């Protein structure tokens, strides 16, 4: 009993020690990211997983094709890069946004120029590591996808726009738009198009948001290009028919806008600095707008974007205003709790492009205009990631003076329109490549808490026909870059990047059996290879071995992937006798049932043929291990004498022929 009690006390003390270790989960940072060897790595949106890993997306220059490619990068919650990948074609691709799917993969969507010098809408589904599983282009220029949603049935719906009549400069830039339409598409989980709609009621319009309502149908919203009017539409999920629509004034529905179905069935549409509300059947309800003001800053056009609430009654917003974008917290829709901009040592943040409130941190993706980085990179737009604490602070955060008020939006009449269905799409699958990028990070403002991250680069090889076990236990079969990420007991990153090359299984041959001619020696040679260690039967090494006596000789070769062995016999005479029996009894008693060459030693058999008394060939082979079983075309042959011919070459490659008879006895 006393011994058990001591063990219990020890376990309690050990558990207390483990629990007492500090955990570094409150670090903040500001970091700039780019890909080595290319110019401009531009972020357009981001996603933060429940485990706090950050996925930034946008576009980068391809090191292979020297064109613009879509780009995805994953970092840990501490900002350390796990992987960075370019996705695209020899033409240009861009990403408007990224969405996580229920299988932990991603949807990326935007435009491609693989089939035209102008953008064409493009949607791709990736696995959790950003490798494309399928991709679809819309088959219409100029078109684009601005928002995608995963549906309850596992499929997807996409919304965007299509230009029907426009001018361009020939370099992919649109100079004038005269007519455009809304587009909505529904896909199954494998990317097959179930239906699409192209429609408009004004000459210039597009859709920028799509969501699924609790009854399964779609809610889409968009606006008119040359006006400030916007609209919201409910569409039938099964066929894309419009159930209802309504319009509203002085709105700009863009890709950060989002529609939410509230518990009472009311629909809330948040777009820029305005909140619009609709009943479940599309009737307009009073809304509100947010007005910002600050000394010395022009906020007339400020359009703050709301992110997830950080606590009850406290919402986080960002606003892209000049001279610096601002992150701020608002309590109960009116009182500013705090507001921050963010200093940088060698460049400036020009705009925020998405954010996420998660746990105790606030993540912000931004564009970073560099003046000069340590590696000489300058005058480029790179990607920037900020992790602030719950109060929006980093080591370089500046408190900013800003105020906010809300004002009711004026009552608007309910609007309906007759839609014109025009414009054609031809969705089709598209092949893309994936390019592993070499990500670079420069810490601008980093708060180190209680530990240090470790990042290890490991070069290794995968052997032909084999698996390779990564540090995290995962088995892989292909070459490439792999990452294994671990958390230390204090919550810091331990990351191992494994770069796998390819090694073939090594084999070699000492040649055919040979002989000593006129008492001379024989020298065996093996392929010279500094990555292989040879060992001969007497323990010696080297790339050659000389045999002076008859016998069997062998060598082993130890390579990275395997140990290979080969042997060879050396005879004292070059011409060895060949023996064949004079008769055989194929009665299946297990004794002398097959007529075969008794021993051909290591000489090379050319052919072994047997003929009956009519000169008919009843058996033929060039395999010295095979023989005649006394049948022809599966029929037993009669007793009697049969003629055989054996042609072979000796160890000096001189030809020989034997002729004789064998008696078949039954």
Q: What is the pLDDT of residues 359-378, one digit of tens each?
A: 778 999 999 887 665 555 55
pLDDT (0 to 100) of residue 15: 34
Residue 241 has pLDDT above 50, yes or no: yes
Model confidence band, residue 332 (pLDDT cutoffs 50, 70, 90) = confident
Identify the residue with better confidence: 62 or 300. 62
Mean pLDDT, residues 633-645 taken together? 95
Sign of CA dihedral 354, 357, 358, 362: positive
pLDDT (0 to 100) of residue 11: 33
Q: Out of 59-63, 76-80, 476-480, which region has the weakest mean confidence (pLDDT)?
A: 59-63
Q: Out of 43-57, 251-265, 522-536, which region has the weakest mean confidence (pLDDT)?
A: 251-265
Residue 347 has pLDDT above 80, yes or no: no
Identify the residue with better confidence: 162 or 253. 162
Residue 5 has pLDDT above 80, yes or no: no
Nearest to 42 by CA among 361, 351, 443: 351
Cis peptide before 539 (omega within 30 of 0): no
C-alpha 379/C-alpha 370 separation (Å) is 5
pLDDT (0 to 100) of residue 536: 97
Rounded mean pLDDT of the chain? 86
What residues contact 58, with CB distance under 8 A and at least 6 apart?
Answer: 41, 42, 43, 44, 45, 70, 71, 94, 95, 353, 383
C-alpha 554/C-alpha 537 separation (Å) is 5
Identify the residue with better confidence: 577 or 194. 194
| pLDDT one-digit tens code per residue, 525-563 | 999 999 999 999 999 999 999 999 999 999 999 999 999
Residue 130 has pLDDT above 70, yes or no: yes
pLDDT (0 to 100) of residue 411: 80
pLDDT (0 to 100) of residue 335: 82
Q: Is 240 left (phi over 0), alpha (psi -120 to 50) or beta?
A: left
| pLDDT one-digit tens code per residue, 173-217 | 888 888 999 999 999 999 999 999 999 988 888 898 999 999 999
Mean pLDDT, residues 321-350 taken together? 82
Model confidence band, residue 349 (pLDDT cutoffs 50, 70, 90) = confident
| pLDDT one-digit tens code per residue, 378-425 | 567 889 999 999 899 998 898 888 888 888 888 888 888 888 999 999
C-alpha 303/C-alpha 271 separation (Å) is 9
Model confidence band, residue 346 (pLDDT cutoffs 50, 70, 90) = low
Nearest to 495 by CA among 73, 77, 30, 80: 80
Residue 228 has pLDDT above 90, yes or no: no
Residue 2 has pLDDT above 60, yes or no: no
pLDDT (0 to 100) of residue 451: 72
Residue 345 has pLDDT above 90, yes or no: no
What tokens appear for 475 in the block? 């088995």
What tokens appear for 509 in the block? 């041959």
Residue 463 has pLDDT above 60, yes or no: yes
C-alpha 71/C-alpha 446 separation (Å) is 25
Q: Of 119-123, 201-205, 347-351, give the range with the top mean pLDDT.
A: 119-123
3-state secondary structure at position 245: strand
Identify the residue with better confidence: 353 or 27. 353
Q: Out of 15-24, 466-475, 584-593, 615-624, which region has the weakest mean confidence (pLDDT)?
A: 15-24
Q: Which residues pair with 557 in a beta bridge?
A: 534, 564
pLDDT (0 to 100) of residue 16: 33
3-state secondary structure at position 198: strand
Model confidence band, residue 250 (pLDDT cutoffs 50, 70, 90) = low
Identify the residue with better confidence: 381 or 495. 495
C-alpha 612/C-alpha 69 separation (Å) is 75
pLDDT (0 to 100) of residue 370: 76
Q: Whole-model pTM?
A: 0.75
Nearest to 444 by CA among 357, 371, 361, 340: 371
pLDDT (0 to 100) of residue 26: 56
Identify the residue with better confidence: 324 or 301. 324
Residue 517 has pLDDT above 80, yes or no: no
Model confidence band, residue 164 (pLDDT cutoffs 50, 70, 90) = very high
Nearest to 606 by CA among 660, 650, 659, 652: 650
Mean pLDDT, residues 464-493 taken together? 89
Residue 7 has pLDDT above 70, yes or no: no
Nearest to 369 by CA among 41, 60, 37, 36: 41
| pLDDT one-digit tens code per residue, 579-622 | 899 999 999 898 999 999 988 767 789 999 999 999 999 999 99
pLDDT (0 to 100) of residue 225: 73
Residue 120 has pLDDT above 90, yes or no: yes
Nearest to 548 by CA among 518, 521, 584, 512: 521
Mean pLDDT, residues 432-451 taken together? 81
Residue 295 has pLDDT above 50, yes or no: yes
What residues contact 50, with CB distance under 8 A and at least 6 apart?
Answer: 358
């Amino acid at each position: 009993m006393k011994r058990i009690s001591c063990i219990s006390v020890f376990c309690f003390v050990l558990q207390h020690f483990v629990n007492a270790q500090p955990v570094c989960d409150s670090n903040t940072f500001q970091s700039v990211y780019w890909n080595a060897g290319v110019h401009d790595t531009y972020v357009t949106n981001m996603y933060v997983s429940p485990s706090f890993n950050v996925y930034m997306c946008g576009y980068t220059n391809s090191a292979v094709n020297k064109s613009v490619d879509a780009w995805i990068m994953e970092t840990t919650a501490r900002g350390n890069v796990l992987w960075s990948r370019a996705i695209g074609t020899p033409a240009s691709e861009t990403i408007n946004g990224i969405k996580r799917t229920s299988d932990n993969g991603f949807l990326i969507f935007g435009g491609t120029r693989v089939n035209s010098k102008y953008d064409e809408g493009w949607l791709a589904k990736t696995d959790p590591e950003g490798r494309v599983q399928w991709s679809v282009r819309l088959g219409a220029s100029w078109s684009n996808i601005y928002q995608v949603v995963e549906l309850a049935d596992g499929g997807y719906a996409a919304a965007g726009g299509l230009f029907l009549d426009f001018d361009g400069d020939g370099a992919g830039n649109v100079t004038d738009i005269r007519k455009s339409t809304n587009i909505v598409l529904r896909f199954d989980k494998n990317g097959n198009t179930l239906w699409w709609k192209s429609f408009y009621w004004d000459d210039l319009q597009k859709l920028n948001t799509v969501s699924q309502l609790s009854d399964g149908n779609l809610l889409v919203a968009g606006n008119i290009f040359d006006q400030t009017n916007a609209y919201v539409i409910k569409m039938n999920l099964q066929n894309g028919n419009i159930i209802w629509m309504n319009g509203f004034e002085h709105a700009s529905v863009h890709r950060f806008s989002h529609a939410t179905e509230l518990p009472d069935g009311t629909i809330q549409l948040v777009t820029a600095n305005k909140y619009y509300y609709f009943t479940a059947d599309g009737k307009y309800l009073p809304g509100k707008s947010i007005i910002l003001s600050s000394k010395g800053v022009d906020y007339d056009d400020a359009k703050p974007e709301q992110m997830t609430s950080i606590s009850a009654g406290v919402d986080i917003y960002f606003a892209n205003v000049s001279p610096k974008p601002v992150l701020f917290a608002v309590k109960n829709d009116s009182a500013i709790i705090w507001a921050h901009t963010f200093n940088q040592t060698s460049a400036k943040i020009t705009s925020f492009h998405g954010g996420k409130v998660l746990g105790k941190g606030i993540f912000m993706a931004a564009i970073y205009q560099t003046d000069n980085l340590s590696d000489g990179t300058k005058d480029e737009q790179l990607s920037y990631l900020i992790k602030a604490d719950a109060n929006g602070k980093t080591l370089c955060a500046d408190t900013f003076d800003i105020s906010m008020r809300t004002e009711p939006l004026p009552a608007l009449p309910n609007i309906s329109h007759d839609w014109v269905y025009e414009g054609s799409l031809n969705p089709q699958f598209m092949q893309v490549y994936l390019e592993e990028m070499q990500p670079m990070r420069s810490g601008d403002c980093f708060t180190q808490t209680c530990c240090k991250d470790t990042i290890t680069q490991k070069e290794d090889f995968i052997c032909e026909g084999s698996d390779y076990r990564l540090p995290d236990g995962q088995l892989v079969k292909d070459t490439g870059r792999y990452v294994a990420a671990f958390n230390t007991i204090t919550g810091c990153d331990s990351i191992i990047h494994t770069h796998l090359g390819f090694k073939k299984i090594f084999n070699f041959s000492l040649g055919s059996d040979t002989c000593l001619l006129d008492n001379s020696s024989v020298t065996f040679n093996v392929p010279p290879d500094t990555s292989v260690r040879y060992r001969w039967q007497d323990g010696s090494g080297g790339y050659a071995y000389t045999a002076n006596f008859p016998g069997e000789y062998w060598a082993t070769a130890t390579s990275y992937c395997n140990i290979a062995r080969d042997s060879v016999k050396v005879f004292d005479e070059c011409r060895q006798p060949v023996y064949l029996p004079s008769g055989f009894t194929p009665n299946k008693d297990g004794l002398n049932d097959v007529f075969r060459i008794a021993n051909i030693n290591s000489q090379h058999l050319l052919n072994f043929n047997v003929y009956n008394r009519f000169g008919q060939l009843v058996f033929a082979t060039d395999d010295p291990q095979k023989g005649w079983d006394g049948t022809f075309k599966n029929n037993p042959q009669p007793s009697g004498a049969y003629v055989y011919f054996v042609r072979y070459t000796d160890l000096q490659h001189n030809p020989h022929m034997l002729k004789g008879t064998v008696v078949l006895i039954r």
